[in-house]
Amino acid sequence: MEIVWSVLLINLTFFKIKTLKLSAKKKLTKEEVAQFQSAVSKDYYFQMYYDDLPIWVFLGKVENEGKSDPSEYKYYLFKHLHFEIFYNKDRVIEINARTDPNALVDLSEDKEVEVEFMYSVKWKETNTPFEKRMEKYSHSSSLPHHLEIHWFSIINSCVTVLLVTGFLATILMRVLKNDFVKYAHDEEAADDQEETGWKYIHGDVFRYPKYKSLFAAALGSGTQLFTL
């Protein structure tokens, strides 16, 4: 594809309107057609600059509605670019590029295809000052977005989260239920047994020591560390 784009010649002369201009005429080989098919299916786009302003344009589109077999997909390459440039006096403020949906080249078949790349230019005046021309790019992402929403993936993720949550809740409830039964049984058995060993002093851990205020002051000031 690098060879194809290297022959494109787009001349955007300031304030010169062009209705339709031939950019390049190229005969694509089978290998290049296969490369374009792969690039179009992956939503590839190309990037260019005009007066330090970036432009992004998609290479083509895929028509796969109602078709489950990838071999039946239709691959199309955009061959006409339309540039819309806004200017303020002798300064370029904004530039937009869009493709013509009616100017397409069918790349569905693995054969050589001859393509005529065209472009057109239209200039429009604006009151936006030159100092604010980059605000458009600071308020939005610098990359184009594909507007297709993958509803199947979203629904699949939600269902998976609900199922995993249900499984975890069921396991947790069974574990807690077994623990409650076990602890209740242990308490009943403990009441029937005499207290021996450590059970005699298990309540002393909650007994206040003598001179508790002095003990708290000594711990708070770090006296025990000085003693060590």
Beta-sheet pairing, 113-125 with 18-28? antiparallel
Q: What is the pLDDT of residue 195?
A: 54
Alpha carbon dihedral 14, 19, 21, 23, in 10-degree steps, equals 70
Q: Say whether 109 sits in a helix, a strand or coil.
A: coil
Alpha carbon dihedral 147, 153, 158, 161, in 10-degree steps, equals -130
Q: What is the pLDDT along the chain (228 residues), one digit of tens a residue?
A: 444 444 467 788 887 877 777 777 788 888 888 888 888 888 888 888 888 888 888 888 888 766 777 777 888 988 888 999 999 988 999 989 888 888 888 888 888 888 888 888 999 999 989 888 888 777 655 445 544 567 778 888 899 999 999 999 999 888 888 777 776 666 555 555 555 555 566 666 677 778 888 888 888 887 777 777
Whole-angstrom CA distances from 194 to 189, 200, 205, 219 are: 10, 10, 20, 37
Residue 107: burial class (beta carbons within 10 Å; 0-12, 13-18, 19+): buried
Q: What is the pLDDT of residue 3?
A: 40
Q: What is the pLDDT of residue 189?
A: 57
Q: What is the pLDDT of residue 142?
A: 46
Q: What is the pLDDT of residue 162?
A: 93
Residue 127 CA neighbour count, 13 Å, CB half = 0
Predicted structure pTM score: 0.52
Q: What is the pLDDT of residue 140?
A: 58
Helix (H) or strand (E) holding 87: strand 80-88
Which among 107, 86, 105, 106 is positioned nearest to 97, based on CA atoms? 86
162-207 pLDDT, tens digit each: 999 999 999 988 888 877 777 666 655 555 555 555 556 666 667 7
